[in-house]
Amino acid sequence: MFQLVLILFLCGFTVAQEKRLLCRSDDLDIFYSYCGTGINTFSFKAEPCSLKGHSVWKGIMFWIPKADLTILTGRVALWHKGLLSLKWDVTLCHGVDDDYSFCGTLKGETINTTVRISSRQPDYKQGEYMVIFEGFSGHFENFIVCMNYTFVIKQRL
């Protein structure tokens, strides 16, 4: 009986974040969900929606930050088959001589920008990969955005 009450209690107060389709191609499906506050204030996508034969993509970002972006740090975690495959911490905005146009944006201002993404041809196995992006204002002090992307690779690249 206790277990039933616990399940009903948790279901009543826990709202699962719905996965939404970002893009679909013959080799790749990408879904996203929010894993923090930021619904309708942050989105990021890459074009084209394919890994096959591409080494350059266009990253498109829309964001209304909830804090100043003088110093912006990010954390990216890649999961595959339940195992953490990669964890990467990066400082995107340092406060001086920044490489990105969105650095220095103030709380509430709108960012709508495109960035170039390049890499060598990826060699990923078929399957599902989960990428979690977390953004912080400052040096990991003020959590401001979190996105969960699920990549379904349909064929070995």
pLDDT at 10: 34
pLDDT at 5: 32
What are the tokens at 121?
Answer: 């041809």
- Listing DSSP states for 11-40 in one string gives HHH--PPPPEEEEE-SSEEEEEEESSS-TT
pLDDT at 138: 83
CA distance 129 to 30: 10
- Tens of each residue's pLDDT in the chain, 157 residues: 433 333 333 333 334 468 889 999 999 999 999 886 656 688 888 899 888 888 888 989 898 998 999 999 999 999 999 999 999 999 999 988 888 889 999 999 999 999 888 877 667 788 999 999 999 998 877 888 899 999 999 876 5
pLDDT at 156: 65
pLDDT at 106: 93
Set out the domains of the chain in order of their start, with CATH numbers.
Answer: 18-153 (2.60.40.770)
- Listing DSSP states for 103-153 in one string gives TTPPTT--EEEEEEEE-SPP-PPSEEEEEEEEEEETTTTEEEEEEEEEEEE
pTM: 0.77
CB 148 within 8 A of CB 36: no
